[in-house]
Copies of this chain bind each other. A is one copy, B any other.
């Protein structure tokens, strides 16, 4: 069994290793807001437990076991977020902090029950995929709204930032998952977009925002 602390390291490693698969100690240190020497010794400990590959001065990589365990924690986190929103009436901007705590609960039955009650959801309230029971996570092929062009019509599929602040901003603009958005214009200077959706006919989104929104072509 891994400690709560170890679980947090695994989760951070998993999310940082998303693309390249490799993570630097420094990078991990910043993500967790824990000093490098502390991270360093924890990596040795996790290497002992066969959860990470560790060699001096080389980047960190999760082992299959480590990736699986991290995935299972993320599964618990995302099932919890879904449960909080769908079954308890929380807003998508309120659930991250609570799930951060609930994800450490040791009870397979508890999360299995959530899964059943939710009807085996594939994504969480922010559009992120929920890993399966083996901790395996697969993202659908989304692209950032910022990479789309004027004239395209897209469906908002996920957000890359689950902070209360960002989601509250989206709420204030009535932006939510599943929404069909048409790009009316892209400002070449700063990348800001004028879009229309629902009752909104000409709303401007800064690149800071469009960078954090994942979309897919309408009608998929």
Contact = CB atoms under 8 A, between A and B. Distances in A.
Copies in the complex: 2
Interface in A110-141: 110, 113-114, 117
Contacts of A142: none
Nearest to A114: B88
A90 interface: yes
Contacts of A94: 109
Contact of A102 (B84, B90, B102, B109): B102
Interface string A68-98: 0000000000000000100111100010011
Contacts of A109: 90, 94, 98
A105 interface: yes
B101 A113 contact: no
A106 interface: yes
Contacts of A114: 88
Contact of A87 (B84, B87, B90): B87
Interface residues of A, number: 18
A172 interface: no
Contacts of A88: 113-114, 117
Given A102-B105, A105-B102, A113 B89 contact: yes
A3 to B, nearest CB: 12
A102 B109 CA distance: 14
A107 interface: yes
Contacts of A90: 109, 113
A98 B111 CA distance: 11
